[in-house]
Amino acid sequence: MKEADEFVDITLVFGKQRIACHKVILAGMCDYFRRMFLTNMLERGSQEVVLNDISASTGVLLVEYLYSGNIDITQQNAQDLLAASEMLLLGALKKNVEDFLLSHTDSVNCISIINLARLYDLKILLADARSYLHEHNGQWNTLPPMPTARIEHSSIYHNHHLYVVGGCNRNALNSVDTLDMRNLQWNHLPPLPREVCSAHLAIVSDNLFVLGGSCGGCVADVHEFDSTQQTWRQRSPMPEICEGGAAVSFNDHVYVVGGRNKRCMRFNPRNNTWTSLQRPQFSHDYRPSIVLNGKIVVFGGLNDDFTEEYSPLTDSWSTWTLKMPQKSQGWAFAAIMDS
C-alpha cells in the first residue's frame, strides 16, 4: 500500500525529505503519532508533521520500519535510531537497537556504547559493555593509519570521532582529519586557514576550537570550526600567548591553562570575549589537563610533579597532596569515568 501511495492522508517531513503516509498505519504502529492524531495536536487544516530533530536518512528508515516492521541497523545509524525511537516512543525499535549493539560491542567502540547506554537508559547494554571493558582492560588495538604522517600535531576525541589537527611532515600542516570510531574510516575536514603545530584543542557545542600553537613562532590565534556550516572562522585571539599550555571545555566556555608562563584564561564563544583569571602556582609545561568534579585539573609538567586544580566557581587554585610519579615533559593522559 505504501509503494502505491494510495489513500495517503498525512506527510512526514524530515528536513528536505517529504514522505506521504497513512495516519492509520502511523497511529497503529507508533504511540507518538496515535496520541498526536487523537488529541488534534496538528495545526488546524495541516496535513504535515515536521520532525526537525530527525534526519532525512533516518526518517526514511523509520517510515520503512513503521510499514514493514523491518529496519537495517548499522553501527553508523544506531545512535540516530536510538534518539528517534526515544522521541517517537518506539520501544520495540529501541530494544532492537540495543540487541544490535549487544552483539557488536568491541574494544574500539566499548566506551561509546557505554555512553549511549547511559544516555538512553539501556541497562542491559550498559552492564554488558562495562563487563566487556573490564574483561578486555589493557588490550591494545591497531587503528587505521593517519592519511598523512605527522609529528607535533594535536588531537581530541568527541562524539565517536578522533580529530587530528596540524603538525609537521617536513613542512607545517594545516590539514584536519577525523577518524570515525564507529566504522574506523578517516575523513578530511576543510583545512585550517593557517599551518599550526602543537595547538590547543577544545570542543564546545560540537564546534572544534584551535587555539594558539606555533607557526614560525608561538601565536595567539583562535579558529572555530562550525560543525553545521562545515566552515572555519577566526575568533578573538588569546590575550596572552600560552606556550606549552592546555585547553579544556567547561560549561560552554574554553579554558586555556598552564604553560611556561602560568596562564589561566577563559573564552566565551557566545560573545567572542576573553577573561584573564587567577594564575596557577606552577607552570605545568606540556602537561595534560581534564575536567573532574566541576574543577579543571592540571597534572605535572616539565619541571613540576605537582597537580593543581582550578575552581571556576571561586577563581582559585589548590594543590593536591598527591604528586606525579616524576617530573616529565609531554605526558599523555586518558580518563575513563565508569560510574
Question: Domain extents for the chain?
Answer: 10-104
Query: Cα-atom radius of gyration of the chain, to the nearest Å?
Result: 24
pLDDT value, residue 143: 85
pLDDT value, residue 2: 54
Question: Three-state SS for 29?
Answer: helix
Within 13 A of 194's CA, how many CA atoms are on the CB side?
18
DSSP 322: S
Question: Three-state SS for 336?
Answer: coil
* Secondary structure (DSSP) of 198-258: S-EEEEETTEEEEE--BSSSB---EEEEETTTTEEEEEPPPSS--TT-EEEEETTEEEEEE
Total Cβ atoms within 10 A of residue 192:
21
Averaged over successive runs of 10 residues, the pLDDT of the chain (339 residues) comes to: 69 92 92 86 72 92 94 92 94 96 88 89 93 79 89 91 92 93 89 94 95 89 94 96 90 92 94 96 80 88 81 94 68 54
**How far apart (Å, rounded) are the C-alpha atoms in residues 29 and 97?**
17
pTM of the predicted structure, to 2 decimals: 0.67
DSSP 142: P
Q: Which three cell numbers mark 13?
A: 517531513
**How far apart (Å, rounded) are the C-alpha atoms in residues 108 and 102?**
14
pLDDT value, residue 60: 95
pLDDT value, residue 292: 87
pLDDT value, residue 339: 45
pLDDT value, residue 39: 81
**CATH number of the domain at 10-104, out of 2.60.40.10, 3.30.499.10, 3.30.710.10, 3.40.50.1240?**
3.30.710.10
pLDDT value, residue 108: 78
